[in-house]
Amino acid sequence: MKQIMLGFHAIQARLRLDPDSLKAVYFDPARRDRRMGDFLKQAESILGDRLHSADSERLHKLAGHDRHQGVVALAEKMTVARTLAELVDGIEGKPLLLVLDGVTDPHNLGACLRVADGAGVHGVVVPKDRSAHINATVSKVSSGASEVMPLITVTNLARSMREMQELGIWLIGTDDQAEKSIYDLDLTGPIALVMGAEGEGMRRLTREHCDQLVRIPMHGVVESLNVSVASGVCLYEALRQRSLK
């Protein structure tokens, strides 16, 4: 199955990781800045005749909008773990997972994948319904993380959370009203951090399946953080603790 990829970060990440999966890359010859020049030097040596110039109208038609930075690619999807069992079986060491409940904005999903990749997360779990899924926007916002981060789509999130618990993974959910803060917990074991969308938060059943609820300390006038920012706070605290072991 082919996918549309947009922007320098996503396409350059694919050039590094799996250049053979890029079937065609189109660029705007009218853009002559240094960033495009550096991109073309890298792409020409790898892609050869799979690199094509295209005017702005063609790029708009391929991307569906003009937010493509002047580069659009047609690519085969990379093969990564697609089931929870497959993901956990392939993890060396203690699992660190991110569970997203109700994150329907592709920009937020892309940002969450980016921060998850940076923090060393092994995989991201989302429900089939009430969730954004990989598309060109997610790929672009994730800056290439969507190409390498396993995104596990599950039909029943509560059942999958029970499966994680049976595998020895501790489920830590975020809740503004929780007694303990994220900084009070030991995050060095096998864990999954469970985040809800801003505004609604986690669904009741998702919250009830968490082993522990924690809050992120807030000292200003806003009540909560964007889900990708909140994910970054929690994941990097886990990374900090793990780096001290």
100 phi and psi angles, rounded to 5 deg: -115, 120
Confidence of residue 31 (pLDDT cuts 50, 70, 90): very high
Q: What pLDDT does 87 receive? A: 86
pLDDT higher than 90, residue 104: yes
pLDDT tens, residue by residue, 109-132 = 999 999 999 999 999 999 999 899
- pTM of the predicted structure, to 2 decimals: 0.75
Euclidean distance between CA atoms 106 and 142, whole angstroms: 10
More confident residue, 107 or 88: 107
- Residue (of 17, 45, 43, 48) closest to 28 by Cα position: 43
Mean per-residue pLDDT, 221-240: 93
138 with 132: CB under 8 angstroms? Answer: yes
pLDDT tens, residue by residue, 52-86 = 999 999 999 998 888 899 999 998 876 565 688 88
Confidence of residue 224 (pLDDT cuts 50, 70, 90): confident
- Interior/surface letters 75-107, b for 16+ CB within 10 angstroms, e for the rest: beeeebbeebeebbeebeeebbbbbbbbbebbb
Q: What pLDDT does 78 receive? A: 65
Q: What pLDDT does 1 receive? A: 62
% of residues, the chain, pLDDT over 90? 67
Across 6-10, 39-43, 189-193, 236-240, least confident range:
6-10
